[in-house]
A = this chain, B = another copy of it.
Amino acid sequence: MSGKAQTAIDKLEQTSRRKMALRIWLRLLTSSQLIEKEVRGRFRTEFDTTLPRFDVMAALAREPEGQTMGDVSRWLLVSSGNITGIISRLEEDGLVTRARSAGDRRTHLVKLSCKGKKEFERMSLAHEKWIRNLLSGMTKEEMATLDDLLIKVKISLAREESS
């Protein structure tokens, strides 16, 4: 009988289903906040930039041909007004380009500039290393199980948030 299984069984006996969802939510939130705090600090001290800027650049890096403002805001789950502001600041710094589309003239094609690509590459490698180190206390098996469970969380959310 493994230690992990024992702990989980204890929890089933001690904790009502009622309180368990709330507990999961608080833990989910705390983990995210702790990682975010750490990563934000490192972006500031090592690259003199912010996490939202990196997030937007990472979204842009996924599509070298460029994408619309709406694509970025939907991918990052934030409002379009938010993206407008961050893209504007990135554009001022010459890291992204924004151009009105030829076809649908409402949309704008946004992409990383050459400078932006290079900068993102540097930051991305460091970022990946930070995360790997932060989670180095987890075994591969634990991460695989956690990944499965987080997928289940997402499925549950998708089904319930509409109702």
Contact = CB atoms under 8 A, between A and B. Distances in A.
Contacts of A153: 31, 135, 138, 146
B144 A12 contact: yes
A135 B25 contact: yes
A147 interface: yes
Contact of A145 (B23, B77, B137, B145): B145
A150 B134 CA distance: 13
Q: Which of A18, A153, A154 has the most CB of B within 10 A?
A: A153
A80 to B, nearest CB: 14
A115 interface: no
B30 A154 contact: yes
Nearest to A150: B27
A104 interface: no
Given A11-B144, A144-B12, A135 B34 contact: no
